Each structure stands twice: as structure tokens, then as C-alpha cells.
Amino acid sequence: MMCFSGSVGVGRWTREQVLGLAPDAASAKAGTKLGVPAPWSNSGATDLAIWGACQGSGSRPYQTIVELAGPAYKCSCPSRKFPCKHALGLLLLWADGGVPDADAPADFAAEWLAARVQRADRSAQRTEQPRDPERAARTAAQRTDAVAGGVAELTLWLTDQIHAGLAGIDAAAYERVDPLARRLIDAKAPGLAGRVRALPAAVIGAGWPERLVRELGLLWLLARAHDRMDALDAPVAAAVRRHVGYPTATADVLAGPTQADDWTVLGSTESEEDRITTRTTWLRGAASTRWAAIFDFKAPGGPPLPMRPPVGATVRGALAFYPDGRRALPTGDLTPTDPAGAPAPSGCAAARADRAARCAIDPWHVHHPVLVTGRPAQAPTPHLVDADGAAVPVRLSDDAWWLLLAASGGAEVTVAGLMGADALEPLSVIAGGEVIAL
Amino acid sequence: MTEPSPLWPRIVSAALLGTATRPVPSGGADPVLIEYLESLSPGTPPAERVLHVAALTAVAANVSGPTPVAGLEPVPCADDDARPLMSPYLAGVVLAALPYPHADRWCLHPVAAAGLRAPVRLIPPLLRHTVAHPEAGPAVAALTGPRGAWLAGVAPGIGARLTGPDGAAGPVPAQADWDALRAADRATALQDLGAFPAGGAAEALCERGLDDRTATVRAAAVHALRGTVGTAYEGRMRARAAALVRRRRALLGDKLDIAPLGEPDAAALRDGVAWPPPQGISPSAYWVEQLSAALPLAAWEEILDAPPERLVGASGEFGTEFRTGWRVRAAREREPRWAAALARSGEPADLALVPGPWSDALSENVIRAFSTMLRSDDWHPLPAGDTALIDAAARNLPVGRRSPWPHRVGVLMAQSPGPRAQYFAPLTEILRLRTAIAEELPQ
């Protein structure tokens, strides 16, 4: 059984998981070619690492090592891709059961793996050193002042826009919002900057004036809430801080209270903004019924996204939560365990009430994780009809809808999804005791 | 007293035109918002008042969530399927096999023949597969069972085609339905006819298809007619062949002679004879190649009164064209005697016609041919015959735990990084997938 510190493992990886690590399609294709036994020699695997020598066109084979915990890769080939095709090929071969088990790593692998352990120890020691509280307070005060300046500029900009009128903004949206977005970045308010930068998207398509005025209203609400943050309830203030873009130190999160449970992965989504890929893994605790979202980020040229368990897997361990109570970090090992039982049926009304309760402390909250039990209906658009006969609109691709239909066979299923303001966006469907990613 | 018009549209208008020139409206607010709006001080600047209303409206719309709909009828339920489920691993192998050529033959049919049913996550991709590969329809229908047929019915957008050209006879559209179909659907209907008996409604429909105004429909009709023995179409082509080709004994064996040939008449053009020939190809050669592919191989044995090995080995000016056409027929009919005869003709491509699983001797010959191909530094595209052999090897080289051939191909690939290695990449992957299937299926 494999388990990872700060990450999660699921035993031997599948080919899909391995190919998911490829930096591009060409690497995946080249790695697939090398995922056969013929070019490999001196290969072996332990619970922590796999290694092998791959005969290429040169006289000396390339020595390839993969540490599974990171995962981390080392290869003597000259490729600048990460992981290279040899590492992918070796992982694919291992996924197919083509790498023999070994008691200890080969010499060329043992040296690199030992060096990594030493580096990890030094890094852990640095992390454990206490922060200077005075310096932290000084930094926080400086940031608060900078953000307040940015919020003041945002307030002025908003009133100016309404005073002068929004007509014509659809023809030059970026020119009107970009200077403010840059200023908000300088003011250390990336959350506000992101919302401002997203405004041009609101002016695309019919009905844009109404959409845009609503978005400006939400920005106004955020700015006003920030001005009187000291008077707000703690959960609302935490929501304001998060939407404005105040950072939360990982060490502070890990030092806070934790929640131990059997966590079932009910969804995984990926998005890209400013060339940064964000992956969100959605988990739900079997006993606590609490939702958690683990975020992973990948920058261009940076290391690949870490391995997470696939949708449907259940892992046991503790999670530490950010102040929003949703974003989480594993505090230690998360080990694969038996699948959690099927969740209790939940209708549309319960899901809407749960979302409304969350919006009451976070008015900017949109996508809320819920479970909805019902039967599919497709007249005129996809819906889910619960036991009370109430139908909630479902927004998903054709492929995902067909899969949801296939999983249900027309019978009642439970859908895990993100409920927005006007529809449910499914992440997975639970049918016959199986969780199927949509 | 008239009620004021709703506040929100007027607020949006004020925001568009600017509060500098447009007064901020009041009254007509949503009852939910009135309490909050009244808490604003009277001196609040107009722009701020607009932003307040916008904020409250946005929050109210967001917090209420999706509007529930009443009275929607769920889709009907599918029938149960009690057959054993294929393992998740095998399902992954089947999914990985779909992009590769002829996956129905080396993957879907064997798995379907084992009596296993596909897991639900595999059903939509299998149904989608039949859109571009109608020949996979029968195997997909067997694998997906009643759930697949149900999904194809409730989600017609998938475009599933669960009967294939080589499968059981598909439905024949009625006359009125046929007239109402679009050209693409008429072609699809002909492709979906499957193996139909001569002399029935399906043949009549194909004959109508020969007169269709759309070329793709005519081509589909010709293809369907060529797959059935005993049709009027076969009779007409037989008459043309009998008038054109003669076999006679020569000093070194048989020889095929061709009678002098004019342009094909209107009836021949209706039967799908392509004309005029491309530049550089003689009219006779073009005619012979089409004619040899148009008739069942058994018909050639009857017309020329000789077994396949004598016909394939016959001399004559158009021997190459005859063999090209017969190769097409042999691939379609999967006729072992003709395949063996063509395979002995010396063309590597003809080895591809031998049905699998191949013998060790044949496999060895094919591996040697691959070795020669891979050693070449030629950057030009691989000849069609060579790619056909690679395709056939992927289907027919024996696999399994004791089979040496997947490993031999892997070693060959590892030692040959030349320009032609790219053509062999699917071969290694298909052999890997076939090995996995062989090990996974119940023996």
C-alpha cells in the first residue's frame, strides 16, 4: 500500500494517471512507445521509487528514476521536458505490471533518492523554525494599508463609471478595466484585481448591461464590506478577506484545527487563467459529511501537478482547512481505504437551502458543492427530478449528460455537483455504489 | 393609483446613461429589497444608490439559486442486464483500443463473444464509436446490451448505429421515409442495411440508390450491392466480365486475355464504374481493376473456370490490376483460399490477407519484412501495401503470455529509430492491448 506525505496515493497508478503527468501530447505519445519491456533493463520498483535503464539510439542507456511520493523524476537523457518520455515510459510499464519488485533501489537510483531525503529533512527543519511575530505583524499592517488604498481607488472608479454611464463599455472594456486591475495588483489585492479583469467577459452577448451592473454591484459590496471589516462577523470578514485576496500562510492552516475522516473524491476540475493551471479536487467526508477542496497549481515550465486520487477513491486521513472552511490541505498521510457507503439521498430543496446558508455568510459565493438525488429528465433541457417532483436544471456537456443517463438507466441516482445561481454543474454521479466522474 | 414599473430595469438604464444626466429612479423595488433600500440615508449620492441596488439585486439573485421546475417527466427506465460485468481493467483496455484501426475485429468482437457486458462509463464512448465505425455496430450492441439500446433511444444525439454493414440485416426504410430522408441519411441507411438477402426490399432500395442524385448515396448503394451474392447487380457485372475476360492455357501456365474495350455505356456508369481513368492509367487497366473488385471471388472462379491459385498466378497484360481488385475482394470476404493464393504471389501486402491468428512461419516472415522496412532510411511515405501489412500484423500476430511476437516487435522497434518507426507505433500498442485482452478474457 502506498501513501504520501502531503499528497495522496492510490496504490499502483493507472495508465491514465501516468499519462496525466505528461507535459504535452507529444511526450505522452513518445512515452507510450517506451512503455513496453523491450528497451528496458536493470529496472525495479519499491514502494517509494521505480527505476530502469532505457536503451535509446546512443551507446549508453539512459538511467531513469521516479520517486513516487512527489512524484519526482531524474533521467540522464538531455530532454528538457519534465517528466521526460523515459520517465513516462517507465511509469507506464510499471502501471502495466512490467517492472519487477525489488528490496532496495539500484545503485544509481539509491544515491539520488538518498539526496532527496536529506533535502526534504533540511526543508522540514526550516519550516519548523518559528516566524518572527513582530515582523509578521509589520508586514500585515503594510499590506492592510496597501489594500485599503486599492479599495479606495476601486470605490472611486465604480462611482465614476455609474456617474458617467456604462454605454459604450462593450466596445472598449479592456481599456477601461485594465489600468484599475493593474493598480489593484500593485495594491496587493489580487482577488479584487481578478474580479475587475473578469468584467469584460460580462459584456459579451445579449443582456450584458444587466450582467455588468450586477457585477459592479458585487464589487461595490466587497469594497464597502472591506471598509467596515472590523464590524463584520468573523465568518463574513473571512469571506471578505478571501475575496479581496489576503493570503493565508500554509503554516497557519496546518497549525489550525483539523478534520479526520474517510474522504471520498467526488470531483476534479481544472481551469486555466493567466497561464496558471488550477486543479480542484473535491472530497466529502463520510462521517462528517463535510466538503473539502484541495487546490493544486501549475505554472508554465514548472513541475507537473501532483498526483491526486481519482474520482471515486476513498482515502483516510486528516485535512486542515483554510478560514473559508472549504479549501483544505492534507496534514499528513492519506491512505487508500474501503469505499465509503452511499450518501443519504438529498433533494433539490435541501441542496438549495445549504447553498443559501453559505451565501448568507459569503454573498459572493457562487459554486456550492452539493448532493442531489433524482431521476434524469431531458425535456426540454437536462434536469434532475427529485423524489418530491422538483426539478433542478443541470448544465453539462453532451458527453457528460449521456454518461449520466447511462449511469442512471433512467432510475434514481445521486449527483455530486456545484450548484450555481441558475443550474447544477455535475462533477460525478453515484450509481450502483460506484462514483463515476462526469 | 398605478403601481410604479419595476425598479431594476430603470436602475440598469440609469447606470448605462450615467447618473450625471439621468435621475436615479425610486419605487417599484422588489419587496425583498425594500427594507435595505430604506436604510440608505437620503443624502446618498446617486451613483452609490445605483450600486447599492445593484449589489442587493445581485445577492438576492445569487442566494435564491436555480429556480426549481415542477411537472417534468423523468426519462423511462432501461431494462436490466444480468450478464457478467467486464473488469475495470478490461474496460480500460477496450476504451484505449477504440482509436486504433479495426478495433471491432481484434477487440470488440472477442470481448463481446465472451458474453461480458460493458460498464456504464464505457457505454457512451462505445455508442459514439459506431458513428464513424458502423461496422462495429453489432459488437457494440452486444457489449452494451439493453442499456446501450435504451441510451441510443433516449439520446438520439449520440448518433449510435447498432447494426453494421457486415452484421445482421438492418431495417429497410419504407418508401415514404426514404423520400423524406436527407442525402447523408439516405447514404447512412444504405450503409446500415447489413447483410441482406437478394431479391428483397433491401436490394430494390439499393437499385434505387444507384439512380440517386447524390454521389455518396450511389457509392453506398454500390458498396451494399457488392456485398450480396445473387443480386441483379452481380448478374450485370458477370455479363460484363464474361464478355471482357478470357482464360487460356499458355506455354507457362494460364493467361488472362482482355477483349478490346470501348468506353463504358450508361448502364455500366449507373452500376458505379468510375470513368474516365486518372491521367497515366490506361482505360483497360482501370476497367479491369474495378471489374475484378466488383464481383465475388467465387464468381471469378466460375467465369474463368479455375481455382484461385491458377488465377492469381496467371500471366497477362493486366495481371497486376486483377490482383489489386481481388485483393480488395479477399480483404472484404476474408476468403482463406484466395488469401493464401495472393499471399504466395510475393507481394508483402498480400500476406496481410491471410486470416489470423498467423502461423509461426508466417509471423516469422512478416517480422523479417518489418526488419527490412525499418532498416530503410527512406523518408518517403510507406507504400500502401506495407502499411496494410502492419495493420494486418496488429490484428493477426498471435498474442498471449507465451507468444514471442509482441516482444519481437518491441525489440525491433527499440533497435530501429529510423524514419519509418513512426508507422509501427500503433502496432506495438495494439499488440499490447490484444495481449491484455487475451489474458483478461475467460479461457
User: CB-CB: which of A213, A359, A375 is closest to B15?
Assistant: A213
Give every CB contact of residue B404 below 8 A, 6+ residues apart in sequence.
none
Q: Tell me which chain B residues have a C-beta less than 8 angstroms from the C-beta of A411.
A: 77
Residue of B nearest to A207 (CA): B12
Q: Tell me which chain A residues have a C-beta less than 8 angstroms from the C-beta of B158.
A: 402
For residue B255, the surrounding DSSP H or E stretch is strand B253-258
Check residues A2 and B247 and name the one with the higher pLDDT. Answer: B247
CB contact under 8 A, A220 and B67: no
CB contact under 8 A, A402 and B73: no
pLDDT tens readout for residues B76-90: 999 999 999 999 889
Pairing of β A434-437 and β B69-70: unpaired
Pairwise CA distance, residues B32 & A359, whole Å: 16
* pTM greater than the 0.80 cutoff: no
**Residue A9: what pLDDT?**
39
Closest residue by Cα to residue B16 from A163, A157, A200 = A163
- Total residues found in chain A within this entry: 438
CB contact under 8 A, A390 and B68: yes
Rounded to whole angstroms, the maximal C-alpha distance in chain B is: 116
CB contact under 8 A, B411 and A38: yes
Mean pLDDT of A291-318: 88
Closest residue by Cα to residue A109 from A77, A74, A85 = A74
Structure-block grid coordinates of residue A30: 513518445
Pairing of β B253-258 and β B245-250: antiparallel
Q: Are A435 and A282 in contact (CB under 8 A)?
A: no
pLDDT tens readout for residues B312-352: 999 889 998 999 899 888 888 888 899 888 888 767 777 88
pLDDT tens readout for residues B16-50: 999 988 888 877 788 878 888 888 888 889 999 99
Pairwise CA distance, residues B72 & A392, whole Å: 10
Mean pLDDT of B278-305: 92
The residue among B24, B36, B69, B377 with the most chain A CBs within 10 A of its CB, best to mutate, is B69
Q: Can you give the three-state secondary structure of chain A, one letter per residue? A: CCCEECCECCCCCCHHHHHCCCCCHHHHHHHHHCCCCCCEEEEEECCCEEEEEECCCCCCCEEEEEECCCCEEEECCCCCCCCCHHHHHHHHHHHCCCCCECCCCCHHHHHHHHHHHHHHHHHHHHHHCCCCHHHHHHHHHHHHHHHHHHHHHHHHHHHHHHHHCCCCHHHCHHHHHHHHHHHHHHCCCHHHHHHHHCHHHHCCCCCHHHHHHHHHHHHHHHHHHHHCHHHCCHHHHHHHHHHHCCCCCHHHHHHCCEEEEEEEEEEEEEEEECCEEEEEEEEEECCCCCEEEEEEEECCCCCCCCCCCCCCCEEEEEEEECCCCCEEEECCEEEECCCCCCCCCCCHHHHHHHHHHHHHHCCCCCCEEEEEEEEEECCCCCEEECCCCEEEEECCCHHHHHHHHHHHCCCCEEEEEEECCCCEEEEEEEECCEEEEC
What's chain B's average pLDDT? 88
Q: Would you say residue A398 has pLDDT above 80? A: yes
Q: Are B58 and A214 in contact (CB under 8 A)?
A: yes
pLDDT class of A1 with cuts at 50, 70, 90:
very low
pLDDT tens readout for residues B101-111: 999 999 999 99
CB contact under 8 A, B18 and A164: yes
Pairwise CA distance, residues A15 & B334, whole Å: 35
Q: Tell me which chain B residues have a C-beta less than 8 angstroms from the C-beta of A208.
A: none
Q: Would you say residue A379 has pLDDT above 80? A: no
CB contact under 8 A, B72 and A406: no
Q: Tell me which chain B residues have a C-beta less than 8 angstroms from the C-beta of A403.
A: 120-121, 123-124
Closest residue by Cα to residue A44 from A89, A2, A103 = A103
pLDDT tens readout for residues A31-57: 888 888 878 888 899 888 899 999 877
**Residue B50: what pLDDT?**
94
Q: Would you say residue B3 has pLDDT above 60? A: no
Name the phi and psi angles at B66, rounded to 5: -65, 140
Residue of A nearest to B122 (CA): A403
Q: Would you say residue B59 has pLDDT above 90? A: yes
CB contact under 8 A, A162 and B47: yes
Task: Determine the distance in angstroms separating the CA of A254 from the nearest CA of chain B, rounded to an integer.
Answer: 31
CB contact under 8 A, B58 and A215: yes
Q: Are B21 and B14 in contact (CB under 8 A)?
A: no
The count of C-alpha atoms lying within 13 angstroms of the C-alpha of B334, restricted to the half-sphere facing its C-beta, is: 6
**Residue A131: what pLDDT?**
67
**Which of A69-73, A116-120, B275-279 reaches the highest mean pLDDT?**
B275-279
Strand partners, A73: A66
Q: Tell me which chain B residues have a C-beta less than 8 angstroms from the C-beta of A165.
A: 15-22
Residue of B nearest to A225 (CA): B55
Q: Report percent pLDDT > 90 for chain B.
A: 52
The count of C-alpha atoms lying within 13 angstroms of the C-alpha of A249, restricted to the half-sphere facing its C-beta, is: 10
Pairwise CA distance, residues A193 & A204, whole Å: 19
Taking phi first (over 0 means left), then psi (-120 to 50 degrees means alpha), and beta for anything else, what does residue B230 get?
A: left
The residue among A17, A32, A36 with the most chain B CBs within 10 A of its CB, best to mutate, is A36
Task: Determine the distance in angstroms separating the CA of B119 from the nearest CA of chain A, rounded to an integer.
Answer: 9
Task: Determine the distance in angstroms separating the CA of A429 from the nearest CA of chain B, rounded to an integer.
Answer: 11
CB contact under 8 A, A162 and B22: no
Taking only Cα atoms into account, the Rg of chain A, rounded to an integer number of angstroms, comes to: 25
Q: Tell me which chain A residues have a C-beta less than 8 angstroms from the C-beta of B62.
A: 359, 363, 365-366, 421
Q: Would you say residue A128 has pLDDT above 70? A: no
Name the phi and psi angles at B251, rounded to 5: -60, -40
Give every CB contact of residue B438 below 8 A, 6+ residues apart in sequence.
B399, B400, B401
CB contact under 8 A, A390 and B78: no
**Residue A343: what pLDDT?**
87
Mean pLDDT of A50-70: 86
Residue of A nearest to B150 (CA): A409
Closest residue by Cα to residue A402 from B95, B122, B163, B130 = B122
CB contact under 8 A, B46 and A163: yes
CB contact under 8 A, B73 and A379: yes
Q: Would you say residue B424 has pLDDT above 90? A: no
CB contact under 8 A, A37 and B407: yes
Pairwise CA distance, residues A219 & A217, whole Å: 5
Structure-block grid coordinates of residue A428: 460525478
Q: Out of A36-45, B170-179, B304-313, which region has the weakest mean confidence (pLDDT)?
A: B170-179
User: CB-CB: which of A216, A393, A410 is closest to B74?
Assistant: A410
What's chain A's average pLDDT? 89
CB contact under 8 A, B47 and A221: no
pLDDT class of A127 with cuts at 50, 70, 90:
low
Closest residue by Cα to residue B110 from B144, B143, B141 = B143
Residue of B nearest to A349 (CA): B68
Rounded to 10°, the helix A190-197/A208-227 angle is 170
Q: Taking CB atoms and an 8 Å cut-off, how many pairs form between chains A and B? A: 215
CB contact under 8 A, A366 and B62: yes
Give every CB contact of residue B84 below 8 A, 6+ residues apart in sequence.
B115, B116, B117
pLDDT class of B443 with cuts at 50, 70, 90:
low
pLDDT class of B170 with cuts at 50, 70, 90:
low
User: CB-CB: which of B59, B65, B414 is closest to A355?
Assistant: B65
Pairwise CA distance, residues A73 & B276, whole Å: 61
Q: Where do we find the cell 452486444?
A: B142
User: CB-CB: which of A352, A378, A406 is closest to B124?
Assistant: A406
**Residue B201: what pLDDT?**
87
Taking only Cα atoms into account, the Rg of chain B, rounded to an integer number of angstroms, comes to: 33
Give every CB contact of residue B257 below 8 A, 6+ residues apart in sequence.
B245, B246, B247, B248, B316
CB contact under 8 A, A392 and B68: yes
Check residues B332 and A181 and name the one with the higher pLDDT. Answer: A181
Rounded to 10°, the helix B137-154/B123-132 angle is 110
Q: Would you say residue A5 has pLDDT above 50? A: no
Closest residue by Cα to residue B14 from B24, B5, B4 = B24
Q: Tell me which chain B residues have a C-beta less than 8 angstroms from the C-beta of A357.
A: none
Going by the DSSP 8-state scheme, the letter that residue B1 receives in this structure is -
CB contact under 8 A, B67 and A422: yes
Task: Determine the distance in angstroms separating the CA of B395 from the nearest CA of chain A, rounded to an integer.
Answer: 18
Give every CB contact of residue B114 below 8 A, 6+ residues apart in sequence.
B441, B442
**Residue B176: what pLDDT?**
66
> CA angle, corner B183, sides to B181 and B187, nearest 5?
95
- Total residues found in chain B within this entry: 443
**Residue B192: what pLDDT?**
79
pLDDT class of A2 with cuts at 50, 70, 90:
very low
Q: Tell me which chain B residues have a C-beta less than 8 angstroms from the C-beta of A422.
A: 65-67
**Residue B116: what pLDDT?**
93
Task: Determine the distance in angstroms separating the CA of B429 from the nearest CA of chain A, rounded to an integer.
Answer: 8
Check residues A334 and A113 and name the one with the higher pLDDT. Answer: A113
Q: Are A199 and A208 in contact (CB under 8 A)?
A: no
pLDDT tens readout for residues A82-110: 889 999 999 998 988 888 888 888 888 99
Q: Report percent pLDDT > 90 for chain A.
A: 57
Pairwise CA distance, residues A263 & A337, whole Å: 9
Q: Would you say residue A3 has pLDDT above 80? A: no
Q: Tell me which chain A residues have a C-beta less than 8 angstroms from the C-beta of B12.
A: 209-210, 213
Rounded to 10°, the helix B384-396/B425-440 angle is 20
Mean pLDDT of B251-257: 87
The residue among B50, B129, B147 with the most chain A CBs within 10 A of its CB, best to mutate, is B50
Task: Determine the distance in angstroms separating the CA of B381 from the nearest CA of chain A, rounded to an integer.
Answer: 20
The residue among B8, B39, B72 with the most chain A CBs within 10 A of its CB, best to mutate, is B72
Look up residue B73 and give its amino acid: E
Task: Determine the distance in angstroms separating the CA of B177 from the nearest CA of chain A, rounded to an integer.
Answer: 26
**Residue A6: what pLDDT?**
39
**Residue A10: what pLDDT?**
42
Complete edge-to-edge strand list for the sheet that includes strand A40-45: A40-45, A49-54, A62-67, A72-75
CB contact under 8 A, B410 and A393: no
Closest residue by Cα to residue B86 from B22, B169, B165, B144 = B144
Pairwise CA distance, residues A282 & A144, whole Å: 31
Q: Are B321 and B288 in contact (CB under 8 A)?
A: yes
Sign of CA dihedral A218, A222, A227, A231: positive
The count of C-alpha atoms lying within 13 angstroms of the C-alpha of A247, restricted to the half-sphere facing its C-beta, is: 8
Strand partners, B250: B253
Give the Å distances, CA to CA, from A132 to A86, A124, A125, A137, B66: 45, 17, 16, 9, 48
Q: Are B8 and B16 in contact (CB under 8 A)?
A: no
CB contact under 8 A, B68 and A391: yes
